[in-house]
Structure 1
Amino acid sequence: MKKVYCIGELLIDFVAENQGNDLAKAEVFTKKPGGAPANVACAIAKLGGLSKFIGCVGEDQFGSFLLGVLEDNHVDISLAQRSKNFTTLAFVSIAEDGERDFVFSRGADKKLKYDSKIKKSFQNNIVHLGAATALLGGDLEDAYGRYFFDALTQNAFISFDPNFRSDLWKGDENIFVKKCMPFVQKAHLCKFSLEEARLISGKVNLEECCEFLHEVGTKVITITLGGEGTLLSTETTKHTIPSIPVNPVDTTGAGDAFIGCLLYQIAGLHDPLEILENIDLLIDFVKIANKAGALTTTNFGAIPSLPNLEQLLAIE
């Protein structure tokens, strides 16, 4: 089993209770662990995989809580860092259909320092880059880019998820797209939402989105489509793979559960790069990953809702 290094933010989600998709009306919030790369690390570990988290939290009670959650979920936190800055917070409201509204208060996540000693550990393993806050400047963006280069030079299998958050990029969407491009060009696998695929490609039609992204350099594209499943695209073929029917209550973490489950399966291969040439196996992997994403939407909170292997295998 290959190790999966998940790089990016770990934060507190304060989830608004008993209201629709409008933070202005929220009065009561519940504390939940969050952050897309941390969610992915937990998704992998809960299924029995080997995941390591690379990110930064504050030297405060929230930071201790978050690292404790990762440990409880069997994620290796030996590469995590702590900062005197407060732990990053996200305030989240959830509508009846499970869709979310975000407001961020950034803190320690941006203080991640590059560690050159990690480089050789990437060799022949998997590196997953989640970009929710990683492209906003500062130490994190510098470290993120350098770890990306290290992954390229160490023959790692590279996974990229732009994790676009409109609240963070209002009016600067073109800058976000420009910063994503080097990762889209070089990653072996890119996971997009429908919104992200259209934003980064500049196209509306899904086939044109994929055509553009493949021309840029992406080998394998997955575009999650909610209840409609996932569009899987390679340079030679496209398949829309259905999901399973569920009644969603919170879509937070569904995409992270999907990509985490997909990477968990790829990590079980002798050489993760072989998945690029085996479309039938890739289709099977996406079918299972769709189940993980769907199951995660049936409970509140990202990490607590991630399925374990027994729960996943119980679904036909």
Structure 2
Amino acid sequence: MQTPRQVTVLGECVADVFADLGSTPPGGSPSAPSPDEEGMRLRVLPGGGPANTAVGLARLGTPTRLMARLSGDVFGRLFRTRLLESGVDLSDAPTAAEPSTLAVADLDAGGQASYSFHAEGAADWQWTRAELAAADLRDSACVHTGSLALVREPGGSLVEELLTGARRHSTVSIDPNVRPALVDPQTYRDRLPGWCAVADILRLSQDDLDAVSPGTTVEAACDGFHEAGARLVVITLGAHGALASLDGRRVRVPGVPVRVVDTVGAGDAFTAGLLHHLGGRGLLGGRLERLDREGVWDACAYAVRVAALTCAVAGPNPPWAHRMADGHSDAGVSVPS
């Protein structure tokens, strides 16, 4: 495996806010918060789909640059600390006057999170054409984006323009990361054909697919995305692994057994693992011309392991390269290669 070329990630940083859970009261819900004398205690972790993906890539060893408008508020400073400590290049991450985006997470008994967002007027969406033009993407093997950065205006349309230009010299990867609590799923349905037209790689979760194409099988959805232009489509299936389709040639990769703490950031970690593995084989930088079915399976199997290790710890905390090398999760559960 060679040293991957740089990947540029464009998108938001979000402060994930969790209730600080205590012991379950008799007859109570497993997710009942533990109040103190002043009210509910909260725990804040730096997150956001694109930021999580950038952290995952950098920790695995891919040179990674994040283009993000980082607020100068307390949460923005938290984001910068986490990103820099993970090795992410922030030379194209301007400090913004607007506030950070907050996502309040509600975890169910299985660790699955649902979110409510506080995002109006936040720094993440206020991109200007001048800010985006300041970054030189010609040295990036891959430009990855998605989530709210592609659908929140005024920045979303400008990000789409940037992807069209980046496609001349970089592989383009998109993760829609559908957020129906904040954006009408119809917005994603309307824009997905245009995204597929510029994307070489499209990654969706089963939940994303259910939101944008209810009742559609993963196989039929992949065929539709291919017809619109995407070469590699990957649908992640939670504990059941992933289905990937390269120009219609399918592979199914099984899940990895792990003791789940929560699933926050698992999809972002999968994307990081996928791009890192492809980059390490020199497959990024064009239209995936040298990628074959075996290469897709290998990359997705690696990505499933990265996602599993992320589920084994609290919050969006993807593994470092040495955790992948030793083959064990932080929960002490063996993760087969």
Same-fold status (TM-score > 0.5): yes
Question: Does 2:30 align with 1:15?
Answer: no
Larger Rg: 2
- Mean CA deviation greater in 193-202 or 35-44: 193-202
For 1:91-119, what per-residue CA distance to the aligned partner results, in whole angstroms no more than 9, with x for missing partners? 1111121111211111111122333232x
For 1:267-289, what per-residue CA distance to the aligned partner results, in whole angstroms no more than 9, with x for missing partners? 22334144653221221111011
Q: Cα RMSD (Å) of the superposition? A: 2.1
Query: Is the 2:126–2:153 contact (alpha carbons within 8 Å) kept by the matching residues of 1?
Result: no
Query: Is the 1:22–1:101 contact (alpha carbons within 8 Å) kept by the matching residues of 2?
Result: no
Change (3 A) 1:124 1:69: closer
Q: Could you say what secondary structure the match of 1:97 adopts?
A: coil
> Aligned match of 2:300 in 279, 286, 295?
286
> Aligned match of 1:163 in 177, 180, 183?
177
Change (3 A) 1:89 1:294: same
For 1:74-133, what per-residue CA distance to the aligned partner results, in whole angstroms no more than 9, with x for missing partners? 000110022211111111111121111211111111122333232x42356100012234
Q: Could you say what secondary structure the match of 1:90 adopts?
A: strand
Matches within 5 A, 1:129-140: 129-138=145-154, 140=155
Shift of 1:136: 1.8
Query: Is the 1:292–1:312 contact (alpha carbons within 8 Å) kept by the matching residues of 2?
Result: yes
Q: Distance in 2 between matches of 1:183 and 1:51?
A: 22
Shift of 1:211: 1.6
Match in the other structure for 1:81: 94
Change (3 A) 1:141 1:21: farther
Q: Distance in 1 between matches of 2:186 and 2:309?
A: 34
Match in the other structure for 2:331: none
Q: Distance in 1 between matches of 2:148 and 2:30?
A: 24
Higher helix share: 1
- Structure 2 gaps, min length 5: 22-28, 328-335
Shift of 1:201: 4.3
Matches within 5 A, 1:141-152: 141-152=156-167
Match in the other structure for 1:235: 247
Q: Distance in 2 between matches of 1:203 and 1:43?
A: 32
Shift of 1:145: 1.5
> Aligned match of 2:186 in 158, 164, 174?
174
Match in the other structure for 1:298: 312
Shift of 1:176: 2.3
Q: Distance in 2 between matches of 1:288 and 1:271?
A: 15
Instruction: Give the fraction of aligned pairs with identical amino acids, expressed as a percent.
Output: 25
For 1:237-287, what per-residue CA distance to the aligned partner results, in whole angstroms no more than 9, with x for missing partners? 111101210121211100010010111112223341446532212211110
**How many residue pairs were aligned?**
308
For 1:41-93, what per-residue CA distance to the aligned partner results, in whole angstroms no more than 9, with x for missing partners? 00000011111001112122221121111000000011002221111111111
Q: Distance in 1 between matches of 2:99 and 2:256?
A: 40
Shift of 1:202: 5.3
Q: Could you say what secondary structure the match of 1:122 adopts?
A: coil
Q: Could you say what secondary structure the match of 2:263 adopts?
A: coil
Q: Distance in 2 between matches of 1:20 and 1:240?
A: 33
Match in the other structure for 1:183: 195
Shift of 1:163: 0.8
Letter in 2 for 1:282: V
Match in the other structure for 1:93: 106
Letter in 2 for 1:196: D
> Aligned match of 1:57 in 56, 63, 70?
70
Question: Does 2:120 align with 1:117?
Answer: no
Change (3 A) 1:109 1:22: farther
Letter in 2 for 1:15: F
Q: Distance in 1 between matches of 2:308 and 2:53?
A: 15
Query: Is the 1:22–1:93 contact (alpha carbons within 8 Å) kept by the matching residues of 2?
Result: no
- Structure 1 gaps, min length 5: none
> Aligned match of 1:41 in 54, 61, 68?
54
TM-score using structure 2 length:
0.85
Matches within 5 A, 1:237-256: 237-256=249-268
Change (3 A) 1:314 1:214: same
Q: Distance in 1 between matches of 2:229 and 2:222?
A: 11
Query: Is the 1:91–1:104 contact (alpha carbons within 8 Å) kept by the matching residues of 2?
Result: yes
Question: Does 2:81 align with 1:71?
Answer: no
Question: Does 2:269 align with 1:266?
Answer: no
Change (3 A) 1:123 1:202: farther
Q: Distance in 2 between matches of 1:71 and 1:189?
A: 27
Structure 1 stretches of at least 4 aligned residues deviating more than 3 Å after TM superposition: 19-23, 198-203, 273-277
Q: Distance in 2 between matches of 1:105 and 1:141?
A: 18
